[in-house]
Chain A
């Protein structure tokens, strides 16, 4: 059955479309985009007053399967992603077993085919078991279907290994995503080192821990002339280093997450473990720099770093609590509220950062609305008020510091390969 999406305002930077257009979907693909389209029988969806954008692409999330299914699995994770407007997500390899070989890549791809609600792309690990000692079979990972490699969750502490990884991965045209954290400087801290950590008596993680490794990896990327993608940028100096490296012609791209431009270390006050994340929440100065970095293009994409944890891992002493927050269902509303409504980014720029650029970095044929391409479409109302209710999250885990937040932005429809996964804000 054909579907007509009628009356919506289409934003598609890749094709330059920015206006009222109707879209016809058939057999999972976009077959027509235009006005006054001929449409006889089928499913007509009236989206007057709403924005029609390419399905969101998340370059950084944790689905916890295999190995940690008590936190989340591919089924619930993709449901959560769909509700948040994501149609393609790339999942990090810090699972158990680690995605360091072909069989785990294939396992995830198959599980996603069976029970996934959106497109799932595995990210392989840089080193075997993410132990930081020996390179994974990066070529095999790529050919099995991995879209990037990363040891995320952990940094690659050995500079020599990172250098070799950059050289080796670039040969296969697969991006290395670096989690920058010098563990020697971080030294088992629990939150950003600063006023809040002093007041709360919690060992702090100096921002230098991130920045030292960002600098190292930028230099290695320049030296090897290999592309690198810096994960979850959170500090002012990190942004500045990357800005400078781009000026020098280094093939670097980078991402940030909503919590790094919405929250500061103050969110940890009262020992709030829901605000405990790695990299930690920083200061207002860093938030301002992240926003500036998004504005001037230094920061290429916005990713969620969706990191589900069981309530028993958060309802403990701050020092013992797990790092991370879920993010699929709050990402777009936070972006709309804090970046669009404040005039920092236009909707077009947001689509670039959440659809076009992530697809480019991961080598995916996604992120745009074009005739002949898979119908991955997200339809949103940017003016609708919502109140975040973590109890209603589709994710197995509810660890979010945004419960109760009043935001703007409702995801009405999420269409994956032409199929309605979310219709009228309801997961089907």
Chain B
């Protein structure tokens, strides 16, 4: 099957079938990562450019390696060292990249809707690598893939997302994706960091993490940005970790075999205790590997739309 759109802008607008297809494809891609010779021709002759307006370790490297493992020509544009610093607009920057024969543009941008704006204006496929507070679809896909691998399916699973939901694009993408695949999603965090109307998206909202953790199969911690503290959204890091930090004691509320996920980077001791990060239930390292696999799958499926090849 083919992905319906030339772009991957978010999980809000793709179907459950498309999500499942990406996860299935990622399984094959993950296998490639475990072999000795991490080189396949899937993206040979294709060109992939990452355009990042925000800093990143995992996502950018993950995309870059994913493209290189599949033999594409890849390049990076970092906004701070590009003509963006001379005032060039987003659309002009994207068009310039597009006109050089680029097949895929991967955009990370601090403003929600930025990838949607360029997708309308370029021929290349656009992958959203994180836009403001809106979505981070490949992160949610790798989170779901991690759960898929360990639990077999998302249907009926209790997933608790803990932390700064209001500012989290990871939370949003996961809410869209997981509810589409039949999971029961709960969110918990300080009320000042809980977005208005979130319950209308089908999630349960709790103001203590203990309640959200009860019988959870999956617990996802979100990174707390300390700048939010400066804006008065929570009084201190100490207060946050005291009431909303996930440590082994709190983790006991969840099921014994509950998975602990985090998109990284982790503020050890703040949203997750060091013991939880390094504990047996933590899938954080695996998530990183899965990130490359999922991004390989997405790149493959998007570039394949034009060539009509079949993975089998």
Chain A residues at the B interface, C-beta cutoff of 8 Å: 193-195, 197-204, 270-271, 312, 315-320
Is B264's CB within 8 Å of the partner chain A?
no
Say yes or no: is B44 at the interface (Cβ < 8 Å to chain A). no
Q: How far is the CB of B53 from chain A (nearest CB, A)?
A: 10
Q: Are B117 and A201 in contact (CB under 8 A)?
A: no
Q: Are B133 and A201 in contact, CB atoms less than 8 angstroms apart? A: yes
A195 to B196, CA, bound (A): 6
Instruction: Tell me whether A200 and B113 are in contact (CB under 8 A).
Output: yes
- Minimum CB–CB distance for A192 against chain B, Å: 10
How many interface residues does chain B have, given as a range?
20 to 34
CB distance from B87 to the nearest CB of A (A): 12
Residues A317 and B197 in contact in the complex (CB < 8 Å), given A201-B135, A201-B169, A202-B132: no
The winner among A193, A270, A317, A318 for most chain B CB atoms within 10 A is A317
A-B contact pairs, 27 of them (CB 8 A): A193-B196, A194-B196, A194-B197, A195-B196, A195-B197, A197-B196, A198-B195, A199-B12, A199-B197, A199-B201, A200-B134, A201-B132, A201-B172, A202-B112, A202-B133, A202-B134, A204-B195, A271-B116, A271-B117, A312-B89, A316-B90, A316-B91, A317-B112, A317-B117, A318-B111, A319-B113, A320-B111
Rounded to whole Å, the gap between the CB of B35 and the closest CB of chain A is 38
Q: Which chain A residues border B195 with CB–CB below 8 Å? A: 197-198, 204
* Option from B90, B116, B200, B201 in Cβ contact (under 8 Å) with A270: B116
Instruction: Say which residue of B132, B169, B196 sits within 8 Å of A198 (CB atoms).
Output: B196
- Given A199-B12, A202-B132, A202-B133, A271:B197 Cβ within 8 A: no
Q: Nearest residue in B to A271 (C-beta to C-beta)?
A: B113
Partner pick for A318 among B91, B113, B135, B198, CB 8 A cutoff: B113
- Give a binary string over B149-160; 1 marks a CB under 8 Å from any A CB, 0 the rest: 000000000000
Chain B residues whose CB sits within 8 angstroms of the CB of A200 once the complex forms: 112-113, 134
- Contact residues in A for B112 (Cβ distance below 8 Å): 200-202, 271, 317-319
| Contacting residues, chain B, for A194 (C-beta < 8 A) | 196-197
Q: A197-B196, A319-B132 are in contact. List 4 more A-B contacts (CB 8 A).
A: A199-B201, A204-B196, A315-B117, A319-B112
Q: Does B109 sit at the interface, judged by CB under 8 A?
A: yes
Nearest CB on B from A41, distance (A) = 59
Q: Which residue of B lies closest to A202 (CB)?
A: B112
Residue from B114, B133, B135 within 8 A of A317 (CB atoms)? B114
- In the bound complex, how far is the Cα of B114 from the Cα of A223, in angstroms? 47
- Contact indicator A198/B117 (Cβ below 8 Å): no
Q: Does B131 sit within 8 A of A, measured CB to CB?
A: yes
Q: In the complex, A318→B89 CA distance in Å?
A: 13
How far is it, in angstroms, between the C-alpha of A315 and the C-alpha of B92 when the chains are bound?
Answer: 11
Tell me the complex Cα distance, A204–B135, Å.
16
Whether A201 contacts B91 in the complex (CB less than 8 A), given A271-B117, A320-B111, comes out as no
| Contact status of A319 and B111, CB under 8 A, knowing A270-B116, A271-B117 | yes
Q: Within 8 Å CB of A201, what residues of B?
A: 112, 131-135, 169, 172
- The CA of A161 and the CA of B131, in the complex, are separated in Å by 40
**Bound complex: CA of A197 vs CA of B113, how far in Å?**
12
Bound: A66/B12 CA distance, A:
44
Residues of B within 8 A of A319 (CB): 111-113, 132
B251 CB to closest chain A CB (Å) equals: 28
Minimum C-beta distance from B122 to chain A (A): 14
Contact string against A for B residues 86-102, beta-carbon threshold 8 Å, 1 for contact and 0 otherwise: 00011100000000000
Residues of A within 8 A of B90 (CB): 316-317
Closest 5 CB pairs between A and B?
A201-B134, A271-B113, A201-B133, A195-B197, A317-B111
Q: Give the Cβ gap from B112 to chain A, nearest Cβ, in Å.
A: 4
CA distance A320 to B84 in the complex (A): 15
> Per a CB cutoff under 8 Å, which of A193, A199, A202, A316 touches B89?
A316
| Distance of A128 from chain B, by nearest CB (Å) | 31
Which single residue of chain B is at the shortest CB-CB distance from A193?
Answer: B196
Interchain CB contact under 8 A, A198 and B116: no
**Cα–Cα, bound, A91→B134 (Å):** 37
In whole angstroms, what is the CA distance A319 to B90 when docked? 13
Contact A195 B169 (CB under 8 A): no
User: Distance (Å) between the CB of A403 and the closest chain B CB?
Assistant: 16
How near does chain B come to A236, taking the closest CB pair, in angstroms? Answer: 16
User: In the complex, A315 Cα to B116 Cα: how many Å?
Assistant: 12
A318 CA / B90 CA spacing, docked (Å) = 12
Cβ of A228 to closest chain B Cβ, rounded Å: 30
Bound Cα distance A17, B169 (Å): 60
- Fill in one digit per residue for B110-127: 1 if any A CB lies within 8 Å of its CB, else 0: 011110110000000000
Q: How far is the CA of A403 from the CA of B135 in the complex (A)?
A: 29
**Interfacial chain A residues near B91, Cβ < 8 Å:** 315-316
Q: Contacts of B198 on A, CB cut-off 8 Å?
A: 198
B308 to chain A, nearest CB (A): 29
B13 → chain A closest CB, angstroms: 9
* Pairwise interchain contact A317-B12, C-beta atoms closer than 8 A: no
Chain B minimum-CB-distance residue to A196: B197
Contact residues in A for B89 (Cβ distance below 8 Å) = 312, 316
| Chain A residues within 8 Å of B196, by CB | 193-195, 197-198, 204
Distance in Å: Cβ of B138 to nearest Cβ of chain A: 16
Residues in B52-74 with C-beta less than 8 Å from chain A:
none
Shortest CB–CB separation between residue A267 and chain B, in angstroms? 14
Query: Min CB distance, A75 to chain B, in Å?
Result: 29
Which B4-20 residues have a C-beta within 8 angstroms of A?
12
The CA-CA distance from A201 to B9 in the complex, in Å, is 13
Shortest Cβ gap from B193 to chain A (Å): 12
| Shortest Cβ gap from B148 to chain A (Å) | 25
Q: Which residues of B contact A195 (CB under 8 A)?
A: 196-197, 200
Docked CA distance A396–B239 (Å):
54
Q: What A residues does B200 contact at CB under 8 A? A: 195
Tell me, rounded to whole Å, the shortest Cβ–Cβ distance linking B233 to chain A.
11
Q: Which residues in chain B, 138-197, are within 8 Å of chain A measured between CB atoms? A: 169, 172, 195-197
Q: Name which residue of chain A comes closest to B200, CB basis.
A: A195
Docked CA distance A341–B24 (Å): 54
Interface centre among B109, B112, B172, B201 (most CB of A within 10 A): B112
